Amino acid sequence: CFETEMKKVAIWSAQEVSNWLTEEGMQEYSEYFQHLNGQALLQLTKEDFKQPPLSLVTSDNGRQLLEKIETLKIEHHIEVHKNGHANGHLIMAGSGDAGSKTKRNGVPNGFRKEMVQIPIPEPERSPFPLEWGKTAVAFIYALTCFVFTTIIISVVHERVPPKEANPPLPDKFFDIFDRVEWAFSICEINGMVLVGLWLFQWILLKYKSIIGRRFFFIVGTLYLYRCITMYITTLPVPGMHFKCSPKLFGDWESQMRRVMKMIAGGGLSITGSHTMCGDYLYSGHTVMLTLTYLFIKEYSPKRFWWYHWICWTLSAVGIFCILLAHDHYTVDVVVAYFITTRLFWWYHTMANQQVLKEKSQSNFFSRVWWYRLFQYFEDNVQGIVPRNYHWPFSWRALMSSVAVRYTRIDT
């Protein structure tokens, strides 16, 4: 039983240390603690985490693991005293024969009882509270922005000038590279792969609620900005190959039906749901290709450099294929990349610096319009969120839940 093993921390084997790390959701240390026993575990200090290889495991300098080890020490100390005497230590009360049967101070053999008080610290508030309610708010915000974007695309589609009257604008990339018809399908396939990888990675994250609401807020804000740019400036189609859906001229019922079809298809051309024109400035595909890569890289271990390079290649090839298909002007892609990376970096800089979460005259970040919403999401998050992973469910708990239990009934 794991609880029984916790009573003997100092004599844990390396395997028991590994089991404990897994139970606590800190498997990232298992590789480095393969030969570490319980006694060595209790002797770890902050200095050990300031040097490689432990300094490369997480970004919190081992703070969480050291806190858990400190809890182990306290539990071990309490268990030692509990195994001695339930109510305290027995202490000699003066000289005398230890084997005497006389009572002194009301206690046999001249001993007296003293209560030993061991202060037990109250459980500290987690520096990274889950707060799933805030994550739900961020999800609703992102979903609302997605729906609003689709509605704006339908509105802008009605304003796109005919390609015969307004041919595509000059573009330097189009002058150099001829159009490749299948390139846009490659872009969307790469985007779906990156989204799938990020979703799988997010499910395994220990602090998925915090990271999830960051993703929802940033992607929602990016699409909200996109609504503004595509509405105020409607560009002609980038190529004569575009086959735009017929305009509906105020038929709102048909427009809403078209909006619902686009939402159901994820706004992808490969699903046949996106047949409207006008959503060029800036590129939504570039936003997703860039943002998923940034989140994948930020919240995965640094030693997974090969994984980062694979995701970067998928993102870069996808963006290049957007231009190769002549489905967006080059300026659409450049603006999308610029806004996505800056919003991601600004948000995480603010989230990782406690002083930037407080409104002041010297904090110019506090003047952005979404600062109050940022404070709401990040107010209780203290410091940089660790890149910790764990299984979303425990095999032991799963097996115990399906196990059949019998109760003896005396008759």
State how far the Cα of 310 lies from the Cα of 380, in Å rounded to an integer.
34
The catalytic site residues sit at 285, 328, 332
Give the other-Cβ count within 10 Å of 161's Cβ.
14
CA angle 164–169–173, rounded 5-degree value: 130
CA angle 257–247–284, rounded 5-degree value: 70
Q: How far is CA 305 from the centre of its chain?
A: 18
State how far the Cα of 223 lies from the Cα of 220, in Å rounded to an integer.
5
Query: Tokens 């028991």 appear where?
Result: 16
DSSP per-residue codes, 46-83: GGGGGSTTGGGT-SSTTHHHHHHHHHHHHHHHHHHHHH
Hey, what are 13's tokens?
């084997």
Q: Are 314 and 194 in contact (CB under 8 A)?
A: yes
Hey, what are 348's tokens?
């995480």
Q: Beta strands of 24-152 (E only): which ranges?
A: 89-92, 103-104, 107-108, 111-114
State how far the Cα of 315 lies from the Cα of 242, in Å rounded to an integer.
24
Q: Are 351 and 378 in contact (CB under 8 A)?
A: yes
Tell me which residue of 316, 11, 187, 31 sits closest to 21, measured CA to CA.
31
Number of residues written out for the chain: 411
DSSP per-residue codes, 300-315: S-TT-HHHHHHHHHHH
State how far the Cα of 327 lies from the Cα of 277, in Å rounded to an integer.
10
